Amino acid sequence: MPQVAVIGLGRMGQGMAGRYLDAGFSVALWNRSKAKANELIARGARLAASPAEAAQGADAIVTMVADDAASTTVWLGADGAARTAKPGAVAIECSTVSYQHALDLGRELRGRGLVYIDCPVTGLPDAAASGKLTLLVGAEPADLERARPFLAPLGETIRHFGPVGAGTVYKLINNLMGAIQIAGLAEGLAIAEQAGLDMKLVLDSIKSGVTASPQVIKHAPRMVARDFSNATFTAALRHKDAAYAVVLAESLLPDLPVSRATVAAYGKATAHAPDDDEGRIIETVSRPKSSTA
Ligand code: NAP
């Protein structure tokens, strides 16, 4: 039975770990907050005391944590997975990290004899739990082949963008463009509200108009109703992704006015409600002009 370590059991990691159990893998888990592992332990997973313990003997190690700092801790910290991972084990970084971090981590783990692929994903927590994620891979072709058996439970759609880091480049532009759409939608809706438009008519018109991307369709009714229940993606994560994208873009393009403005807008949204639904960004722009003085 192949042995996999899953590190990071947030909204996404919980579902991903469950997929390995469903597929018959032997699963070791680690999460900073231990209670999040309870349901998976009841389904047959083993909880390790550290990422290093989870990685011991694993054929593959899959990480799904918040950001660069968390990824560094779980891989390279004093109790990190790299300390015990066996040579030839497949290291799969699914967290959305910065481009430079993906490159540095890949170099470090390859130097320790691991096979490394960067594999950020698109898809919401329900897609993680049902094995329907889209996997955005950066890897040498032979390394991707080694990783495939461990990717199969997570999703069938694998987009191989190029060498290590290339999956992260795509993921960052994807989430930057999403941030721009959501921040733009919030401002458009706030203008419509303050101008006194019939918001039901506005929503119907948006839905059937050319701006109706899946992001817009998802967030518009929630923003108008100010219903931010069942958050799937937080303001802090959206801000992090957009900021990482701008750092990458700064090395490639001379000017990024829209991207920079969006990072600033999501900075405000994060200060307002970091761990709530990203759509709450509308609350940072929807006050009438006189009340902001
Ligand atoms: P989440 O629910 O906020 O979970 C974050 C995870 O990171 C938790 O396991 C958390 O541990 C861990 N973590 C944070 N800081 C840590 C640290 N310093 N040391 C160790 N562990 C740390 O986030 P999520 O929605 O699952 O997202 C996880 C990753 O997937 C992020 O990179 C995100 O950008 C990406 N992503 C998310 C979605 C989505 O729809 N949610 C979609 C695609 C990609 P605790 O449980 O102890 O807090």
**Is the dihedral angle over the CA atoms 126, 152, 95, 240 positive or is it negative?**
negative
| pLDDT at res. 1 | 86
pLDDT tens, the chain, 293 aa long:
899 999 999 999 999 999 999 999 999 999 999 999 999 999 999 999 999 999 999 999 999 999 999 999 999 999 999 999 999 999 999 999 999 999 999 999 999 999 999 999 999 999 999 999 999 999 999 999 999 999 999 999 999 999 999 999 999 999 999 999 999 999 999 999 999 999 999 999 999 999 999 999 999 999 999 999 999 999 999 999 999 999 999 999 999 999 999 999 999 999 999 999 999 999 999 977 765 44
Q: How far is CA 53 from CA 140, 189, 263, in A?
A: 28, 49, 37
- What CA–CA distance (Å, rounded) separates 63 from 271? 27
Instruction: Out of 7, 9, 12, 31, give the residue to mutate to test ligand 1, the one with the largest number of ligand atoms within 8 Å of its CB.
Output: 12
Q: What is the dihedral of CA 237, 243, 174, 277, to 10 degrees?
A: 30
- What CA–CA distance (Å, rounded) separates 166 from 164? 6
Ligand 1 atom closest to 36 (CA): 46
CA of 255 to the centre of ligand 1 (A): 30
The residues pairing with 63 across neighbouring beta strands, listed in sequence order, are 7, 93
Fold of 3-164: Rossmann fold (3.40.50)
- What CA–CA distance (Å, rounded) separates 40 from 5? 13
List all residues 6 or more positions away from 252 whose beta carbon is below 8 Å from its beta carbon: none
The CA angle 117-177-210, to the nearest 5 degrees, is 135
Domain ranges within the chain, ordered by starting residue: 3-164, 169-284
CA of 56 to the centre of ligand 1 (A): 22
CA of 197 to the centre of ligand 1 (A): 38
Following DSSP, what letter does each residue of 10-71 receive, concatenated? Answer: SHHHHHHHHHHHHTT-EEEEE-SSGGGGHHHHHTT-EE-SSHHHHHTT-SEEEE--SSHHHH
| pLDDT at res. 291 | 56
List all residues 6 or more positions away from 6 whose beta carbon is below 8 Å from its beta carbon: 13, 16, 17, 20, 27, 28, 29, 30, 45, 54, 62, 64
Nearest residue CA, atom 30 of ligand 1? 95
To which CATH superfamily is domain 169-284 assigned? N-(1-d-carboxylethyl)-l-norvaline Dehydrogenase; domain 2 (1.10.1040.10)
Residue 133 DSSP symbol: P
**Fold match between domain 3-164 and domain 169-284:** no
Residues with CB under 6 A from ligand 1: 8-13, 31-33, 36, 64-66, 69-70, 73-74, 95-96, 121-122, 124-125, 232-233, 237, 241
Ligand 1 atom closest to 233 (CA): 41
Half-sphere exposure of 126 (CA within 13 A, CB side): 3
CA of 277 to the centre of ligand 1 (A): 14
Q: What is the dihedral of CA 155, 49, 139, 233, to 10 degrees?
A: 50
